[in-house]
């Protein structure tokens, strides 16, 4: 059953139109999506109260995976139940997914023209600065909420996460799970509750299948185990996509991350670009399906229990360890992302992007687009491009 009737129930046609519109204009990631959904559901239509919307944000932030996608699905669920959740979620995701797959065909093709390759290298050069900004934005509220001795543990978890992208590679997910399990065990031990083996059982969940199984596993990590926001998918994917399975080059991976930033909708759609490199259009669609399936499942299966989730001490304890580790991993991913730059002219672009994003607080989308324009000009002027 839905928790509390909305002020005025929309039709499914309205869900299609309004959630599709948010998916089309939602450039800028979760802050933009939240603002657009608040304007739609609370202020313009009055479908949800401010309190209901704030509780929805709190509940979806406790879930792993893309929080703004889950918020869009959950708001539609509150209004029209399971069917509304499916329709609203799909309409929110599809515009950006279609755009990133089309751009993947352009940028990740075998022999794109020089200006396209230059644009990808230019935008890709700025990605490391985007990672640092994204990680710091995730870390700031975590640090503000931490008190006393917890701050020391938060720093330890963040440091472990920061080192993991360079050291753990494809096993980064184990570091995130371990930090969550350690914090859960710490709090249970302090409370006098025996620490069962189940707290550590998650560490045996990872496998490394080959072929289609590899793409499914990588996509599942992105959708179900990404604690701390959409950008944590970058270190989760990089080792698999480039190092382990060789689906794409370092430059192509940077292109994929940039495409995920400049297209509307959730950043998690970057996984579709990786899937495209692994298996063409079917691979891109499969990767997106697997990555977004957990978000739909969390809402369809557990939405009626979200209020209790907010009060579950075990969930909060696990995320108190996993979330700072994820924030650290996002910042730490800047190291391998910078190491992936292949041409000398990319480094000045990275420096300017870092100043624009970290010091001047300019728009991520605008910065990446401008970096892409500079790169395209460099490609047309004969700047060296990787072979």
pLDDT < 70: residue spans in the chain: 1-8, 169-170, 193-210, 227-230, 387
Sign of CA dihedral 310, 18, 361, 66: positive
User: What's phi and psi for 293, nearest 5 deg?
Assistant: -55, -40
Q: Do 42 and 178 belong together in one domain? A: no
Give a yes or no: residue 385 inside a domain: no
Structure tokens at 74: 């959950």
Domain final residue pick, 96, 128, 160: 96
Domain that includes residue 32, residue range: 12-96
Between the alpha carbon of residue 90 and those of residues 18, 84, 128, 220, the distances in Å are 12, 10, 30, 18
Give a yes or no: residue 7 inside a domain: no
Give a yes or no: residue 277 inside a domain: yes
Sign of CA dihedral 191, 196, 201, 203: positive
Q: Do 116 and 226 belong together in one domain? A: yes
Domain final residue pick, 42, 63, 96: 96
The length of the chain is 387
Q: Do 89 and 108 belong together in one domain? A: no
* Chain position carrying tokens 């230019």: 122
Q: Do 74 and 220 belong together in one domain? A: no
Q: What is the pLDDT of residue 191?
A: 76
Domain final residue pick, 96, 117, 145: 96
Q: What is the pLDDT of residue 197?
A: 40
Q: What is the pLDDT of residue 8?
A: 63
* Chain position carrying tokens 């700025």: 126
Q: Do 172 and 75 belong together in one domain? A: no
Q: What is the pLDDT of residue 283?
A: 95
Residues 51/52/54/58 CA torsion (nearest 10 deg) = 130
Q: Do 208 and 269 belong together in one domain? A: yes
Q: Do 29 and 155 belong together in one domain? A: no
Q: What is the pLDDT of residue 193?
A: 63
Whether the Cβ atoms of residue 326 and residue 226 lie closer than 8 Å to each other: yes
- The DSSP code for 228 is T
Q: Do 53 and 136 belong together in one domain? A: no
Residues 335/340/343/344 CA torsion (nearest 10 deg) = 10
Give a yes or no: residue 386 inside a domain: no
Q: What is the pLDDT of residue 147?
A: 86
Q: What is the pLDDT of residue 206?
A: 42
Instruction: Report d(CA 310, CA 290) in Å as an integer.
Output: 26
Q: Do 38 and 127 belong together in one domain? A: no
Q: Do 183 and 293 belong together in one domain? A: yes
Q: Do 49 and 107 belong together in one domain? A: no
Q: Do 76 and 207 belong together in one domain? A: no
Query: What stretches of 146-239 show up as alpha helix (H) in DSSP?
Result: 149-167, 172-190, 198-201, 212-224, 233-238
Q: What is the pLDDT of residue 108?
A: 87
pTM of the model: 0.80
Number of domains composing the chain: 2
Give a yes or no: residue 82 inside a domain: yes
């Amino acid at each position: 059953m839905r928790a509390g009737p909305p002020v005025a129930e929309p039709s499914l046609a309205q869900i299609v139109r309004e959630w599709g519109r948010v998916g089309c204009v939602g450039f800028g990631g979760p802050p933009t999506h939240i603002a657009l959904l608040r304007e739609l559901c609370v202020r313009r239509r009055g479908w949800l109260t401010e309190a209901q919307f704030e509780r929805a944000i709190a509940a979806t932030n406790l879930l792993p995976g893309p929080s703004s996608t889950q918020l869009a699905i959950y708001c539609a669920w509150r209004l029209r139940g399971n069917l509304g959740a499916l329709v609203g979620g799909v309409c929110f995701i599809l515009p950006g997914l279609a755009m990133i797959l089309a751009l993947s065909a352009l940028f990740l093709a075998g022999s794109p023209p020089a200006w396209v390759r230059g644009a990808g290298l230019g935008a890709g050069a700025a990605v490391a600065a985007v990672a640092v900004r994204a990680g710091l934005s995730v870390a700031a509220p975590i640090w503000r909420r931490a008190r006393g001795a917890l701050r020391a543990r938060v720093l330890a978890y963040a440091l472990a996460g920061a080192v993991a992208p360079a050291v753990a590679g494809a096993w980064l997910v184990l570091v995130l799970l371990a930090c969550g399990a350690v914090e859960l065990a710490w709090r249970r031990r302090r409370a006098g509750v025996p620490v069962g083996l189940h707290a550590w059982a998650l560490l045996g969940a990872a496998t490394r299948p080959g072929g289609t199984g590899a793409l499914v596993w990588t996509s599942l990590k992105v959708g179900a185990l990404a604690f701390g926001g959409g950008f944590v998918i970058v270190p989760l994917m990089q080792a698999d996509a480039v190092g382990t399975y060789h689906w794409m080059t370092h430059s192509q991976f940077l292109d994929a991350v940039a495409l995920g930033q400049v297209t509307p909708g959730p950043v998690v759609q970057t996984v579709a670009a990786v899937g495209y490199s692994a298996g063409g259009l079917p691979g891109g669609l499969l990767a997106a399906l697997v990555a977004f399936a957990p978000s739909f499942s969390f809402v369809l299966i557990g939405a009626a229990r979200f209020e209790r989730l907010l009060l579950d001490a075990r969930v909060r304890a696990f995320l108190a360890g996993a979330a700072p580790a994820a924030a650290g991993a996002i910042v730490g991913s800047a190291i391998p992302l910078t190491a992936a730059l292949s041409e000398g002219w990319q480094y000045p672009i990275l420096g300017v992007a870092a100043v624009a994003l970290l010091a001047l607080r300019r728009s991520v989308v605008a910065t990446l687009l401008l970096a892409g324009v500079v790169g395209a000009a460099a490609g047309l002027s004969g700047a060296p491009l990787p072979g």
